[in-house]
Structure 1
Amino acid sequence: MIIDIRRLPMPRKPERRGLLFAMLVLIFAASPLSAETQTAASARSAAASVRGDRSGARLAQDTCLQCHGTGVGPDLRLQELSYETIRYVARSGLNAMPSFRETEISDGELREVADYLASLRIPAGQTPGPVPGALQSQDKH
């Protein structure tokens, strides 16, 4: 059977479809999801570009705390997270947080990050201050 495409019904207002598509693109581009995705890309880039000092403190400050110390992600100082939980989320990603391959941050480095984050833990009931190494903390200097 041969279908003559000239006989198929055409959309009534093709310009409306184009306008709808353009509106959806603009809405998505301005949405918080887009900002979160850009933040996740920045975190991935920071983890990949850290050279020299690969200590848990430096990796946490340059990568984790740029989101988790600025209000983009939850404040990790207020949570009691095991190494296994940190490793799982770092390898798998969660919501807007990207995953990090072992070539970007090793399991040993993740253990050091977990130890550093544990050293920053704030007991329940205390008000957290600035996060060491986070952008908001650096701006106050």
Structure 2
Amino acid sequence: MARYTALVAIAGTLFLGAAGLASARKPAPAPANGPAAQIARGDKIFQTNCAACHGHGSGGDDYLTGEHWKYLPGTLAIYVKYQNAVPPALEDRTDLTHEVIEYYVRNGISIMPQFRKTVVSDQDLKDLSAYLMRNNGRASTAKK
């Protein structure tokens, strides 16, 4: 009986120790609100609604290769319009404002469709703006 009690005590100690290690390894959850959380939500919205046309595609960072077939439709359109004066991939831009992003998302342009509030809500748009403006060196002007 003493042997059984000792085994149960050892097993319990090991179990509690393992549980402590498992919980110690978990990173602190990201805050549900705040700039980091808003940018993370915006990234998700960008990947869902925008990246297929405005991401890097297989062109990567080298926009001077002349291999335009590698560009995604929106990225190619920006490349052609600005002749590489601004980065074609929206994620690399540092000149975007919430107002510009909102205008093009809500109204569309050329082959880019407009996105109704049922697809990209006002809060989604604010989160998207925070994500795309994260490289601007200034906080998003969009209110949470």
**TM-score (ref. length: structure 2):** 0.43
* Larger RCO (alpha carbons 8 Å, 6+ apart): 1
Q: Which entry has the higher C-alpha Rg, 1 or 2?
A: 2
